[in-house]
Structure 1
Amino acid sequence: MADHQNPHSLYNPNTGIYTSPRPPVPLPQSPTTSIVDFLFRNLSVYSDRPALIDPNSHQIFTFYQLKRKISDFAKTLHYTYSISKGDVILIFSPNSILFPVAFLAVTSLGAIATTANPLYTVKELAHQISDSKPKLIITVDQLFSKVNGFNLPLIDLGNFSDLVAKSSNHAALSPSVYQSDVAAILYSSGTTGLSKGVVLTHRSIIATALMVTSDQEFYKEGRSVFLCVVPLFHIMGLITFTYAQLQRGNATVVMARFELEKSLDAIQRYKVTHLYTAPPVVVALVKQPAIVRRYDVSSLQEIGTGAAPLSKDTMDECSKIFPQAKILQGYGMTETGGIISIENTRAGFLNSGSSGVLCPGMESKIIHIETLKPLPPKQLGEIWVRGPNLMKEYFHNKEATEQTMDKQGWLHTGDLGYFDEQGRIYVVDRLKELIKYKGYQVAPAELEGLLVSHPEIMDAAVVPYIDDEEGEIPMAYVVIKAGSSLSGEEIQSFIAKQVAPFKRIRKVAFIEVIPKAASGKILRRELRQKVISKL
């Protein structure tokens, strides 16, 4: 980002459009550049460098080995399982260094990868499978019990070596894959309860990768080592972090999950330079400085967060524990390839509490909720964005697509925010009703549907309850039948049996009537105010 740029030029009062101060990034010109082609475009420069590192087994794939493994797995998919262009493959696995191999092998064929949270129950998985209709599931043996009832072929990533050995003699594949082809369908929780498939093309993923790493390029940042502790089934772990850094020739240390001491050990052992994660991880680091001090974390240059806002106080505390590291925030959503804005740690104010400035090629408007007129700096409204990284559509959901993206290409985020005079964006609240628990999205309507299925529950509403440790937790307001002795614990248990752990109800309050508008829509704001008044 050019430090000398006049920030007032970022906002055009005639159009109401905010633009990025970062120089635009050039996208590849050839229409037949796939994300795998793009990833290895500079392979000769760093073929022997580490690409993916497993801190548990200490196994390392170099970039050359990564390319071979992707090619061999793609041959297995094609020759053994008849996978070809346009087929959908579900990857249902915890984090491992084979997860990106599977994703890239699928997309190298022109097939389409869809991913699911390994914590999902069979019921939750059934919705995504019936929607995306995969031909095959790539998983691990400990998850077989969740997927073997769907009558689909299963590939066990744990048998990777045996799988690829069978097809190693086959000829290499070179299918025609276009930038405009669909690479992935990643599911994003919808406010209507069921998640929607976000359709991302090869072009939008390449654009995301270039936009995320634009500052690294602009300032000619050298070789970096990133620690990935966020889930790879999520846009943030898979595209915004791992793919974006791999295409730059950087190494990624992939952890199965965040565990404080194991993460600190990995930072020390592999001289990790960048930790990009979600706010609960930063909170965990801040709360346990004595443990942090046991490890040599002097290699760490940047700690970045996304998925939910991080408070300025937490950022300041983190700066004290990691004085050599710069703390930054970014803002994005699955529908934007995981990125909209990011702070530039080399220019401007740090720890401002903002989500930085727009990434290169991004435009934004702040729209008044009632008049739908664009707003100048310091005015709160709905954030609209436009850029080369946006999704193509919601999969098989024309109505939801038209509600979210208008004919001018603006994506209506459903988030409330504003820009300041320096072009920094602040995300304040959500028009959407999603609860962000530890970076996971929880749709209240889904939980409400389950709650009212209980024979003794008359009505229910779910709202976020602000928690210092977790960010937001799902809290249920429940109306029970007259004479019922149903307890809060019983309600929590009823829900826990039906959903993934992150969706569980963490707090229950009993209420006589759920406040609703004349249209029947739950007045969540009233309930949120009720929560706040009791804090």
Structure 2
Amino acid sequence: MAHDGAVVDPRSGFCQSNSIFYSKRRSVLLPSVPYLDVTTYIASRPHTGKVALVDASTGRKITYPELWRAVHAVAASLSQSHGVRKGDVVLILSPNSIYFPVVALAVMSIGGVLTTTNPLNTPGEIAKQVSDSKSRFAFTTSALLSKLSTGAAACLPVVILDSDAEPPRDSRVVSSIKEMMASGSGRRAAYEHVSQDDTATLLYSSGTTGVSKGVASTHRNLISMTEIIINRFKLDGSVGGNNHVFLCTVPMFHIFGLVAFATGMLGSGSTVVVLSKFEMGEMMSAIATHRVTYLPLVPPILVAMTQHAQAIRAKYDLSSLKSVLSGGAPLSREVIEGFAEKYPGVEILQGYGLTESTGIGASTDSAEESRRFGTAGMLSPNTQARIVDPDTGESLPMNRSGELWLRGPYVMKGYFSNPEATASTLNSGGWLRTGDLCYIDEDGFLFVVDRLKELIKYKGYQVAPAELEALLHTHPDILDAAVIPFPDREVGQFPMAYVVRKEGSRLSEAEVMDFVATKVAPYKRIRRVAFVSAIPKNPSGKILRKDLIKLATSKI
């Protein structure tokens, strides 16, 4: 097969002449018109779906006609009553909710830029993001309003997302989602033209290293990922996408939850059942009640479902379930076979992606593909990859491990107001350096070997060691510190700290953990501490994390 004149091996997708791997999946067609926002694109896709969103706990439904009326009303209210303009950044601080997609689609339809944050974050962490992203408007719930109380966050006008509760008496509260949805004609008002190259979202990621940075994704990025996701699940709405019911267990503030369930799936006529918080019993009950066909989850939940399969199947009717969608880490042979044995009618699909790739860069799209144990899948449609030797910069062929570089229509524009970080992650040829050590085999399957980047993945949440190290250095009794990922069967990895105490200090393990716990979200907490006389570093002063990981895991 040939790509742009290059001769490509049909089995692996590899081209000898330019050392590029090409996706073996059929390309998806993307709109070429320059002016198009992702909301208009999603709204205009034909389908026969009826119910768009369902609240798993209350059963409240939003039909497709109601959804688009609500989106237009909220967009008009933002623009006409609250002065939100193209390029203005709007924050959502909220757990999953059927109103999250309404706000996200409304903001992007007027050219606003959406930024999201984890409800578990502390007021200080949220204030830092508000300041960095230059947010000027916010949506949150009554319960979370107090988190917008520090620094720049305390000055934002706020809309309350609880539909039934009376909005709290607070001078910053300018409206409620209920009022906004009831206002306006429900017809789309005229706004400034939005280009596919305009920024649509600003999600925060630690990237390949270091502290959290705003990932600027464009409307084109989101449109292309919407098409890739709909294509992956064969959800062409014109032929019955409404038969598919997805349970949104993943957070909508995260790239996968936002692009797949808060926006993309709504272009296919599928129904998205929204779980506001994860609890195993509630998840199982929602599958049975709403006849869910697709269930996204992270590996620890899949393991728990396997371990408790007998009790689960005795209590809940899971006969509607066709597929589980696992992400965050590749599944082992033992886990895949164990799950298949307990749930014989359910296929496992896996995926690999980053915030910087607006979601999925590779995936397994059938049970057969997932049986190639340890793989993250084949490259997504419209995708090219390189495997690059991190030391020499040489592009490598099949079955050789190096850093994975990706190129495709979904690769971010760059890091917001951070040209240095952008230049070190995106090169001039449009290649995204993922920071993951990978190889691609002779059949075009991607395998993730290790992380070059220093992220810790706790239950799928990203934790940056650099952020926790900076915090530990502020403690009066700590001379030096390093944070590493410690492997754990239940959560994947948790942060462990190596600490050098100041002379004469009797600082304890519990005191270190308590100090950090008061200043960060629960998922970032240090859960193990070891005291050492010095932190191992290379000549340039970089922490030798691999040595510390070896030391920590040798004692398991």
CA distance in structure 1 between the aligned counterparts of 2:289 and 2:421, rounded to whole angstroms: 46
- Residue type of the alignment partner of 1:528: I
Tell me which of 138, 156, 161 is aligned to 1:157. Answer: 161
For the aligned residue pairs, the C-alpha RMSD in angstroms reads 1.9
- Secondary structure at the aligned position of 2:281 is classed as helix
Q: Which residue of 2 aligns with 1:197?
A: 214
1:31 aligns with 2:31: no
Tell me which of 41, 44, 50 is aligned to 1:41. Answer: 44
- Secondary structure at the aligned position of 1:305 is classed as strand
Say if 2:332 and 2:374, in contact at 8 Å, map to a contact too: yes
- Residue type of the alignment partner of 2:377: G
Q: Which residue of 1 aligns with 2:183?
A: 167
**Unmatched segments (≥5 aa) in structure 2:** 1-7, 164-175
CA distance in structure 1 between the aligned counterparts of 2:398 and 2:437, rounded to whole angstroms: 13
1:179 aligns with 2:196: yes
1:132 aligns with 2:133: yes
The equivalences for 1:99-138 within 5 A come to 99-138=100-139
The equivalences for 1:135-534 within 5 A come to 135-149=136-150, 150-159=154-163, 160=176, 162-164=178-180, 167-168=183-184, 172-175=188-191, 176-190=193-207, 193-217=210-234, 222=241, 223-293=243-313, 294-345=315-366, 348=369, 350=371, 352-534=373-555
Q: Relative to structure 1, is the Cα distance of residues 349 and 191 closer, same or farther in structure 2, using a 3 angstrom cutoff?
A: closer
CA distance in structure 2 between the aligned counterparts of 1:6 and 1:292, rounded to whole angstroms: 46
CA distance in structure 1 between the aligned counterparts of 2:264 and 2:273, rounded to whole angstroms: 14
CA distance in structure 2 between the aligned counterparts of 1:151 and 1:348, rounded to whole angstroms: 50
- Residue type of the alignment partner of 1:96: S
- Residue type of the alignment partner of 2:310: A
Q: Which residue of 2 aligns with 1:55?
A: 56
CA displacement at 1:346 relative to structure 2: 6.2
**Unmatched segments (≥5 aa) in structure 1:** none
Q: Relative to structure 1, is the Cα distance of residues 218 and 13 closer, same or farther in structure 2, using a 3 angstrom cutoff?
A: farther
More displaced stretch, 106-115 vs 275-284: 275-284
- Residue type of the alignment partner of 1:205: L
CA displacement at 1:382 relative to structure 2: 0.3
CA distance in structure 1 between the aligned counterparts of 2:34 and 2:402, rounded to whole angstroms: 37
More displaced stretch, 439-448 vs 155-164: 155-164
CA displacement at 1:511 relative to structure 2: 1.1
Say if 1:230 and 1:277, in contact at 8 Å, map to a contact too: yes
Q: Relative to structure 1, is the Cα distance of residues 152 and 205 closer, same or farther in structure 2, using a 3 angstrom cutoff?
A: same
- Residue type of the alignment partner of 1:157: L
CA displacement at 1:321 relative to structure 2: 2.1
Q: Relative to structure 1, is the Cα distance of residues 425 and 161 closer, same or farther in structure 2, using a 3 angstrom cutoff?
A: closer
Q: Which residue of 1 aligns with 2:3?
A: none
CA distance in structure 2 between the aligned counterparts of 1:334 and 1:86, rounded to whole angstroms: 20
Q: Relative to structure 1, is the Cα distance of residues 349 and 84 closer, same or farther in structure 2, using a 3 angstrom cutoff?
A: closer
Count of residue pairs brought into register by the alignment: 529
More displaced stretch, 446-455 vs 211-220: 211-220
Say if 2:70 and 2:102, in contact at 8 Å, map to a contact too: yes
CA displacement at 1:93 relative to structure 2: 0.8
- Residue type of the alignment partner of 1:15: N
CA distance in structure 1 between the aligned counterparts of 2:487 and 2:188, rounded to whole angstroms: 53
CA displacement at 1:170 relative to structure 2: 8.6
CA distance in structure 2 between the aligned counterparts of 1:277 and 1:29, rounded to whole angstroms: 34
Identity of aligned residues (%): 44
Q: Relative to structure 1, is the Cα distance of residues 501 and 58 closer, same or farther in structure 2, using a 3 angstrom cutoff?
A: same
CA displacement at 1:227 relative to structure 2: 0.7
1:19 aligns with 2:22: yes
CA displacement at 1:179 relative to structure 2: 1.5
More displaced stretch, 500-509 vs 76-85: 76-85
CA displacement at 1:354 relative to structure 2: 0.4
- Secondary structure at the aligned position of 2:530 is classed as strand
CA distance in structure 2 between the aligned counterparts of 1:349 and 1:475, rounded to whole angstroms: 32
Q: Relative to structure 1, is the Cα distance of residues 381 and 403 closer, same or farther in structure 2, using a 3 angstrom cutoff?
A: same
Q: Relative to structure 1, is the Cα distance of residues 353 and 29 closer, same or farther in structure 2, using a 3 angstrom cutoff?
A: same
TM-score by length of 1: 0.95
CA distance in structure 1 between the aligned counterparts of 2:265 and 2:31, rounded to whole angstroms: 17
- Secondary structure at the aligned position of 1:158 is classed as coil
Say if 1:7 and 1:423, in contact at 8 Å, map to a contact too: no
Say if 1:46 and 1:63, in contact at 8 Å, map to a contact too: no
CA distance in structure 2 between the aligned counterparts of 1:513 and 1:71, rounded to whole angstroms: 59
CA distance in structure 1 between the aligned counterparts of 2:367 and 2:502, rounded to whole angstroms: 59
- Output one character per residue of 1:356-400: Cα deviation in whole Å (capped at 9) or x when no partner: 100100110111121111111111100000000010111011111
CA displacement at 1:148 relative to structure 2: 3.6
CA displacement at 1:241 relative to structure 2: 3.9
- Residue type of the alignment partner of 2:309: P
Q: Relative to structure 1, is the Cα distance of residues 191 and 367 closer, same or farther in structure 2, using a 3 angstrom cutoff?
A: closer
- Output one character per residue of 1:39-86: Cα deviation in whole Å (capped at 9) or x when no partner: 12135x436x11111011101111111101111111221122111211
- Output one character per residue of 1:438-489: Cα deviation in whole Å (capped at 9) or x when no partner: 0010000110111121111111110011101111110011111233221111
Say if 1:51 and 1:251, in contact at 8 Å, map to a contact too: yes
- Secondary structure at the aligned position of 1:356 is classed as strand
Say if 2:209 and 2:454, in contact at 8 Å, map to a contact too: no
More displaced stretch, 287-296 vs 180-189: 287-296
Say if 2:38 and 2:222, in contact at 8 Å, map to a contact too: yes
Q: Relative to structure 1, is the Cα distance of residues 153 and 12 closer, same or farther in structure 2, using a 3 angstrom cutoff?
A: same
CA displacement at 1:166 relative to structure 2: 6.5
- Output one character per residue of 1:489-517: Cα deviation in whole Å (capped at 9) or x when no partner: 11101000000000000111111111011
Say if 1:76 and 1:166, in contact at 8 Å, map to a contact too: no
- Secondary structure at the aligned position of 2:119 is classed as coil
Say if 2:89 and 2:112, in contact at 8 Å, map to a contact too: yes
CA distance in structure 2 between the aligned counterparts of 1:484 and 1:190, rounded to whole angstroms: 35
Q: Relative to structure 1, is the Cα distance of residues 162 and 417 closer, same or farther in structure 2, using a 3 angstrom cutoff?
A: closer
Q: Relative to structure 1, is the Cα distance of residues 12 and 152 closer, same or farther in structure 2, using a 3 angstrom cutoff?
A: same
- Secondary structure at the aligned position of 2:484 is classed as strand
- Secondary structure at the aligned position of 2:44 is classed as coil
Q: Relative to structure 1, is the Cα distance of residues 309 and 135 closer, same or farther in structure 2, using a 3 angstrom cutoff?
A: same
- Residue type of the alignment partner of 2:155: N
The equivalences for 1:66-81 within 5 A come to 66-81=67-82
CA distance in structure 1 between the aligned counterparts of 2:39 and 2:536, rounded to whole angstroms: 51
CA displacement at 1:349 relative to structure 2: 5.5
- Residue type of the alignment partner of 2:110: L
Say if 2:499 and 2:532, in contact at 8 Å, map to a contact too: yes
